[in-house]
């Protein structure tokens, strides 16, 4: 199980692994909706085929701004990683 977690960590930390979101943005630069743990987990599954439990994605508060955001992910007991989200206006 630890070896599998290490393999997931390696895949998440590759340079090309950026989870992309396109959101509608208001005049103040904030998104109309927010990006939650569930949305991040769904996009990881859809874009990279990685199944990560939404409870293991550590977002302090829902993301409502555009740009690059680093989000910590707990993969296994002592295996954690950081994924990069790219939120763009769409």
- Residues 22-75 have pLDDT tens digits of 999 998 888 998 999 999 999 999 988 888 999 999 998 889 999 999 999 999
Q: Among candidates 73, 84, 85, 83, which has minimal Cα distance to 5?
A: 73
- The pTM for the full model equals 0.86
* Cα-Cα end-to-end distance for the chain: 39
Residue 29 Ramachandran class (φ > 0 left, ψ -120 to 50 alpha, else beta): left
């Amino acid at each position: 199980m630890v070896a599998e977690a290490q393999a997931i960590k390696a895949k998440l930390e590759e340079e090309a692994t950026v989870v992309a979101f396109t959101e509608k943005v208001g005049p103040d630069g904030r998104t109309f909706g927010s990006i939650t743990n569930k949305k991040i987990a769904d996009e990881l599954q859809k874009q990279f085929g990685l199944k990560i439990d939404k409870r293991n994605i550590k977002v302090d508060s829902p993301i409502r701004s555009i740009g690059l955001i680093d989000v910590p992910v707990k993969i296994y007991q002592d295996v954690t990683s950081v994924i990069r989200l790219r939120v763009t206006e769409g």
